[in-house]
Structure 1
Amino acid sequence: MARHANIATQSQASSIWGQTQSQPIENIVWGRLYGKNIKMNSIDLNADEFAAGRGETCNLMLTLDYLPEKILYRISKIHFTLKRENCDISNPVYIEDNSRNGTFINGERIGMNKTRILKNDDVISLCHPTNKAFVFKDLCPNEALGLPKEITSTYYVSRKLGSGACGLVRLVFDIRSCEQFAMKMVKKNLLSESNAISRNKQLNSNDPEKVLNEANIMKSLSHPCVIKMHDIIDKPDSVYMVLEFMKGGDLLNRIITNRNLSEPISKLFFYQMCHAVKYLHDKGISHRDLKPDNVLLESSNEETLLKVSDFGLSKFVQNDSVMKTLCGTPLYVAPEVLQTGGRGAYTKKVDIWSLGVVLFTCLSGTLPFSDDFGTPASEQIKHGRFRFSHPTWKKVSQRATTLIKEMLMVDPKKRPTVDDVLKSSWLKDNEMLRKAKALMQLNTMDIDEEDENFLQPPKKRARR
């Protein structure tokens, strides 16, 4: 199995928690309010919830000792509430406006009974933007250091979700809507230096309007099995993609956790992937970097919706990342890409090859091509040499192995189109189709009613 980058979710606070295990949670100070135009120095925040207002139940009861009478009479019994779930420093701090006269963050009104995220050095004003009462200090590590202003002014950057050779993925929150996203950061300078000159010519000389147009095309895509791109920021050294957050992790992790996937689950996942690729192909987009890492799952349920991601990265990073020496080995890439050194013009058939490799991996938990097989993987790919030798193949139907053989044809002209794949006999499984329709929430799908009585043939081991 190819080396798998560690993508386990981890809290950036692990070392801090280790040092404070003997302390009660309520003693952990995670933030501080400093008085600005209010008669107080500071107050520590060390509980899940902190309320400020005129009411006696508030953690900070505002009186004439703190504010002049003309402002105090406009303060609500509970004016605003701060929340940090479980005092966990990997969670954002929320501020809820409980007042009729308003709570303002940096001059911007939150709105009664509405919530937004509070960030380090934010100024909290009461009743009017000019009544600047507090400055909030987040005592937790700043994960947004070094990120562009386009990111930090819009998003709260939280814990790491995963990492790989070309960058990492972080959980982010929209400051105003509090919506969760996954932000993928890809460093361009981690790519192969051999392509530096051509990359700079293509990226740095790009008309900004052209880059913006490409981003808008990707943001406009809408399909249940294609990850929704919320935002994309293209910088000279990095690309930042803000994507919908999928809580189920990626397909590679699911395969590794289970060693391999059953044929029914593999079929359900593969069918959804094919629909995603068909949608992209119909829009004139070739993915060019299909692999289990780039397939995200909605939930931890065995039967779940999946979404294909990273389909737009090749527009911003020269060629596809899988071709770069520092960004992984070309284990899922088509022979024609290897034969041209990643500089040729390919057809959409490169995605069909990759789909075949992904299906092979789902069903067996192994790769069809590997340096461990005696010859370089690249040579195996160029000649289309692979075997169904793992014991798990004994339980896989011949229709599945036949489809894999058809997709892994070295000559791209002999490979099926994605429409052909969707019409394959292996996918004529009405139970799977009904589940897929429910997961994808589509009203109409290409389900042939004549196949209601379709029966799988006896399962036997395919030979090559």
Structure 2
Amino acid sequence: MISDELNSDETISDEMIGHRQKGRFAKRSNESDGNDDTWKKWEWADEFGNLFIRAFIKPISKEEDSQIFYGCVMDFPKHNEQFGFPKSVAIKEVFFRGEEYYKAKEMLVHEVEILKMAVQMEAIYVIKLIDYIILPNSLVMVMELGEESLKHRLNRLKIKWKQNENLDVINSDIKSIFIQMVIALRDLHRFAIHLALKSENWLYVNRNGEKMLALIDFQTSALIQTNGTIDNRSEKKRKELRSIICKTFVGRTHLPRTRSFASPEHKGFCESRGKNQLNVQTDIWSLGISLLEILAYTPQIDAIFDFEFFVKEKRKFKILRDAFVEENENKNKEFAEKAKMAIEEYFPNFSVLVKQMLSTDPKNRPTVDELLNEITSLKF
């Protein structure tokens, strides 16, 4: 739970997001109405008046160094009409870690800068930042509320697909998800590259009654130039770039899951301190791995592992990834070959796309526009 009191004179140094300019947090109250102890009151003061938010005392999501609370804007009609605030919001607090850790303060502040740019660029498929404040030991952000992650949606789809193993239905569902992912990436690539694409970093949000996929988690993302590359012409720029992007490879046993989605040029830049070849095509590689992860949830691929009931989902995905990515010695070569053959048999169109996206040369990977043309033309 967020414990530090915020004083009314603690102003936010950066320009505020959206309609708000120089805003500030007022002192929070722990009061609750009647006997209801489940809510904690937040009072937000700015030049427009007070925006009252109430947040659950218990976080809806909690990790080692972050927690997310459900919040509700109490005077919703007034603020929604005037300033566009949503009624329900997510309040996220991330605690700072040491400078060498991937949750360092500079990375979290960097994420705010990316999200502010997304607002400025009117990016539709990026989670919306409403406001934020930097505290001595943490960053607190008020954000658009998501409904479920792509990973959670895939777990539900797996049950549906298992009940009815209709390939046309499965292919159509995957096509629908993948189109949204490609469109979201095209939107982001107008100003940034993500560099940490995985199912946990896609979130379904409700926009005007319609559910859509939005990108989250921009701590290791990078702003790009108009040609789709990162500005690192000076040694200072290169050092700054590594200090942000390569934090994914520091701490927590080098974040093995994040590494599973990282492209060869991403690993080369961070692990071998090689030449920077990072650009928008770097995300295309990660998108290819993400498509493999989606395919790993299908009953057709599940059947390959049926006789080994103890094989967990993450191991299935790793085996499947290793079938398409030639790196170190593959200890599960037999399973990998069977899984690869199953994808080629049951999902031939997606198999072709995966192989194109996982080209070791970024120049040979399809662009987001080429991918969108290919995927929309598929008929099932």
Aligned match for 2:377, one of 418, 422, 428: 428
RMSD: 4.6
Query: Normalized against structure 2, the TM-score is what?
Result: 0.59
Aligned match for 1:289, one of 196, 199, 212: 196
Q: How does 1:51-70 map to 2 (within 5 A)?
A: none
The aligned amino acid for 1:228 is K
Post-superposition offset of 1:405: 0.8
In terms of fraction of residues, the more helix-rich structure is 2
Q: How does 1:42-81 map to 2 (within 5 A)?
A: none
Post-superposition offset of 1:252: 0.5
In the alignment, the residues of structure 2 paired with residue 227 and residue 314 of structure 1 have an alpha-carbon distance, to the nearest angstrom, of 14
In the alignment, the residues of structure 2 paired with residue 160 and residue 237 of structure 1 have an alpha-carbon distance, to the nearest angstrom, of 18
1:170 corresponds in structure 2 to 69
1:230 aligns with 2:156: no
Q: Deviations over 1:24-80 (max 9, x none)?
A: xxxxxxxxxxxxxxxxxxxxxxxxxxxxxxxxxxxxxxxxxxxxxxxxxxxxxxxxx
In the alignment, the residues of structure 2 paired with residue 244 and residue 238 of structure 1 have an alpha-carbon distance, to the nearest angstrom, of 19
Post-superposition offset of 1:140: 1.7
1:140 corresponds in structure 2 to 37
Post-superposition offset of 1:331: 2.0
The DSSP-based 3-state class of the residue aligned with 2:339 is coil
Percent identity over the alignment?
21
Contact preservation (8 Å) 1:364, 1:393: no
The aligned amino acid for 1:428 is S
Aligned match for 1:319, one of 245, 251, 262: 245
In the alignment, the residues of structure 2 paired with residue 403 and residue 164 of structure 1 have an alpha-carbon distance, to the nearest angstrom, of 34
1:338 corresponds in structure 2 to 267
The aligned amino acid for 2:267 is L
Q: Deviations over 1:249-298 (max 9, x none)?
A: 11111212333862211111111111111111122x00111111111124
Judged with a 3 Å threshold, the aligned counterparts in structure 2 of structure 1 residues 323 and 211 are, in CA distance, closer, same or farther, namely closer
2:145 corresponds in structure 1 to 245
In the alignment, the residues of structure 1 paired with residue 329 and residue 133 of structure 2 have an alpha-carbon distance, to the nearest angstrom, of 38
Structure 1 gaps of 5+ residues are 1-11, 13-107, 109-117, 123-135, 430-454, 457-464
In the alignment, the residues of structure 2 paired with residue 120 and residue 266 of structure 1 have an alpha-carbon distance, to the nearest angstrom, of 46
The DSSP-based 3-state class of the residue aligned with 1:225 is coil
Judged with a 3 Å threshold, the aligned counterparts in structure 2 of structure 1 residues 195 and 393 are, in CA distance, closer, same or farther, namely closer
The aligned amino acid for 2:373 is K
Q: Deviations over 1:60-103 (max 9, x none)?
A: xxxxxxxxxxxxxxxxxxxxxxxxxxxxxxxxxxxxxxxxxxxx
Aligned match for 2:296, one of 364, 374, 391: 364
The aligned amino acid for 2:87 is E
1:406 aligns with 2:356: yes
Contact preservation (8 Å) 1:364, 1:392: no
Post-superposition offset of 1:308: 1.9
Structure 2 gaps of 5+ residues are 2-25, 77-85, 162-169, 223-239, 302-311, 331-335
Post-superposition offset of 1:347: 1.5
Q: Deviations over 1:300-339 (max 9, x none)?
A: xxx9522222246646993366434325632222222222
2:178 corresponds in structure 1 to 270
The aligned amino acid for 2:158 is R
Q: How does 1:374-389 map to 2 (within 5 A)?
A: 382=327, 389=339
- Count matched residues: 284
Query: Normalized against structure 1, the TM-score is what?
Result: 0.49
In the alignment, the residues of structure 2 paired with residue 174 and residue 269 of structure 1 have an alpha-carbon distance, to the nearest angstrom, of 31
The DSSP-based 3-state class of the residue aligned with 2:262 is coil
In the alignment, the residues of structure 1 paired with residue 129 and residue 153 of structure 2 have an alpha-carbon distance, to the nearest angstrom, of 23
1:120 corresponds in structure 2 to 30
In the alignment, the residues of structure 2 paired with residue 325 and residue 228 of structure 1 have an alpha-carbon distance, to the nearest angstrom, of 28
In the alignment, the residues of structure 1 paired with residue 184 and residue 203 of structure 2 have an alpha-carbon distance, to the nearest angstrom, of 12
In the alignment, the residues of structure 1 paired with residue 52 and residue 352 of structure 2 have an alpha-carbon distance, to the nearest angstrom, of 49
The DSSP-based 3-state class of the residue aligned with 2:291 is helix
The DSSP-based 3-state class of the residue aligned with 2:193 is coil
1:160 corresponds in structure 2 to 59
The DSSP-based 3-state class of the residue aligned with 2:30 is coil
